[in-house]
Amino acid sequence: MEIKKAEFLVSSPNLAKCPVVDRPEFAFIGRSNVGKSSLINCLVKHKNLAQTSGRPGKTQLINHFKVNNDWFMVDLPGYGYARVGKEQRLSFVKMVRDYLEKRENLMVVFQLIDSRLEPQKIDIEFTNYLGSKGIPCTLVFTKADKQSLQKGRITMDAYRKALLKTWDEAPEMLLTSAESGHGREELLAYLDQCLKSDLA
């Protein structure tokens, strides 16, 4: 897939304010500071399309980006640590769950996971949540450039083993780096495959 055009469309505070359901949609979510916005920018080759920050919890709305005028890429608030109060955190949870469970044109959720860390309870729980709701998901391991690719693959194998305790078959897994571009073409090819299967 070649991305010829990508543009910010809108930031929405809840599902009701999201754009009209008129094209396929792919959502990106992960723990705060996992490199979500950086990966989105890497995919579209636009340094500042999605706002990056060293401060966890920067993304606090449902951010839609229109790609090639054909489909939406969605940047969701991260789960886990964020410098917000309990009430606002609960509001984030409701906003994200409403979107994930009710958005009719959502094709796949890309759950981002730091490839440097051993399986984290919060990540496993979120993957299991997606599975329990029948929401299609793919695990995208980030920051592959921070260590050897072999270590990244070992992390992926550890997650696969952990998930097979509750899953009949583990979700698809990809290893990426926004810094080096590793895995970019593979992820774009996967997106293209999803889009073509939807049109079939």
- pLDDT 10s per residue in the chain (200 long)? 899 999 999 999 999 999 999 999 999 999 988 999 899 999 999 877 876 544 444 467 899 999 999 999 999 988 875 555 555 556 678 899 999 999 999 999 999 999 999 999 999 999 999 999 999 999 999 999 999 999 999 999 999 999 999 999 999 999 999 999 999 999 999 999 999 987 64
- Are the CB atoms for 18 and 12 separated by under 8 Å? yes
* CB distance 86 to 4 below 8 Å: no
CB 139 within 8 A of CB 115: no
- What are the two backbone dihedrals, phi and then psi, of residue 59, each rounded to the nearest 5 degrees? -75, 120
b/e map of 149-163 (b: 16 or more CB within 10 Å)?
eeebeebbeebbebb
Top-level class of domain 6-199? alpha beta
The domain spans of the chain are 6-199
> How many residues are there in the chain?
200
